[in-house]
Amino acid sequence: MGGEPVGPAVLEGEIHLAYRWTTGPATGAFLTALRDRGVILGLRCPSCRRVLCPPLEVCPRCGTETAGEVECGPGGRVTAWTLVEAPTPWTPWEAPYALISVRLDGASTDLVHAVTEGARRVRTGARVKAVFRTVGRRVGDILDLEGFAVE
């Protein structure tokens, strides 16, 4: 914190803070399955029977606690897409990449992720397949699912 004065009218500054976020049982299991097994997990809502993927602890629609893991994907269908030409400095992919909403096989909800192989061929309804980080390099974050390849 603090800052270098660059003039009487403006002060520049930065804030650096460290955090450690608890993933909780649902997201924790999702990330663990990605890292250890290269598997995408959903959770079923016992009330409406939908499979939430990514999984949530509570089904928002029913207010019911989810239970029962279901493996989803690795294939899925694109439900919305955009080709990103102007990424942010922290974007992990080279532009252009496609940001997609994808309905994985076996899931009732959509996952937001990226197409990293064949981005220019993405269309609504296109089939895509998950690409995982190489075994041995997985760390337990969402990018253990590196992205999707257009089939």
Closest CB to Zn ion among residues 45, 126: 45
What is the DSSP pairing of strand 64-65 with strand 58-59? antiparallel
Using CB under 8 A, which of 57, 80, 83, 120 touches other proteins?
57
Cα–Cα distance between 12 and 3 in angstroms, integer? 5
Residues in 58-117 that interact with other proteins by CB under 8 A: 58-61, 63
Stretch that binds other proteins, among 43-51, 57-65, 73-81, 134-142 (CB under 8 A): 57-65
From the list 129, 125, 113, the residue with the least C-alpha distance to 75 is 129
Which of the choices other proteins, Zn ion, none does residue 80 contact, using the CB cut-off of 5 to 8 A by kind?
none
Q: What string marks each residue from 25 to 44 as x (binds other proteins by CB under 8 A) or -?
A: xxxx----------------
- Residue 57 contact among Zn ion, other proteins, none, beta carbon within 5 to 8 Å by kind: other proteins
Question: DSSP 3-state assignment of 27?
Answer: helix
140 belongs to the binding site for other proteins (CB under 8 A): no
Residues 41, 29: contact at Cβ < 8 Å?
yes
Find the angle CA(61)-CA(64)-CA(66) to the nearest 5 degrees.
105
Stretch in the footprint of Zn ion (CB under 5 A) among 12-20, 54-62, 79-87, 90-98: 54-62
Peptide bond connecting 96 to the previous residue in cis, omega within 30 degrees of 0: yes
Does 60 participate in binding Zn ion (rule CB under 5 A)? no
Q: Are 42 and 106 in contact (CB under 8 A)?
A: yes
Query: How is residue 145 written in tokens?
Result: 């699912």
Binding site for other proteins (CB under 8 A): 1-2, 11, 13, 15, 17-28, 56-61, 63
Residues contributing to the site for Zn ion (CB under 5 A): 45, 47-48, 59, 61-62
